[in-house]
Structure 1
């Protein structure tokens, strides 16, 4: 049995980031009379563009099968981790003020990978359950 599961950034989310990049870049170009607005809109366009580019270069953030998982590492690299090197898979849930955040934590012997619903396109609790099933942990 060689189940292969993968989780990726939802396409509509990538499209919104691309559209935001275009709008912010246009705002910077059209605001030549206001240097502060050009600067702020330009920086925002670069940030949104960097996020959109990462989604385009590495849309699949996590892949798992019976032998291990492959997780995005760095900006757009990939790292293969066999199950014996995975020390913990858990969901970290925090509430601050009115915001609740949930992150999937994949802890390996030498690293910690944090993934959100925005990275995976699914609720992190469902991904955690699937990873635990694939790793054959009790």
Structure 2
């Protein structure tokens, strides 16, 4: 990577919430040993929260940009470098359904689409998209 680098990462507060949830549900699983269904359910939730927390620890930076292009997390903790020339579009995909609204930063290469949420980026998707566009054009 050369020149200035922009990075978007998972917020530490979100990691702490996942770790606390994993610990709390693991304790619930142990305390509910007499109720197999409750213990299994709490154990599964603890395991999922622990796996999500582990991903945040191993790959906290989900997106970075430099003069050559982007590096995006792919899979559990892998990453992929995308040169600026391969990026066709950067936009924010907004969806509303009933009372909920979701936003994703969409990076389209023509061959693949990378979707990152505000939870991945640590900032609102529109803010990251604006920063990426201005960084790419140099303005």
- The answer, yes or no, to whether TM exceeds 0.5 is yes
Deviation at 1:68, TM superposition (A): 0.2
The equivalent residue for 2:80 is: 79
The equivalent residue for 2:36 is: 35
How many residues of Structure 1 are paired with residues of Structure 2 in the alignment? 138
With normalisation by structure 2, the TM-score equals 0.94
What secondary structure does 1:135 align onto? Answer: helix
- Looking at structure 1, the residues matched to 58 and 70 of structure 2 have their Cα atoms a distance apart, in angstroms, of 19
Map of 1:47-126 to 2, 5 A cutoff? 47-126=48-127
Deviating above 2 A after TM superposition, structure 1's stretches of 4 or more consecutive aligned residues are none
What secondary structure does 1:61 align onto? Answer: strand
The CA RMSD measured in Å over matched residues stands at 1.5
- Looking at structure 2, the residues matched to 87 and 26 of structure 1 have their Cα atoms a distance apart, in angstroms, of 48
Gaps in structure 2 of 5+ consecutive residues: none
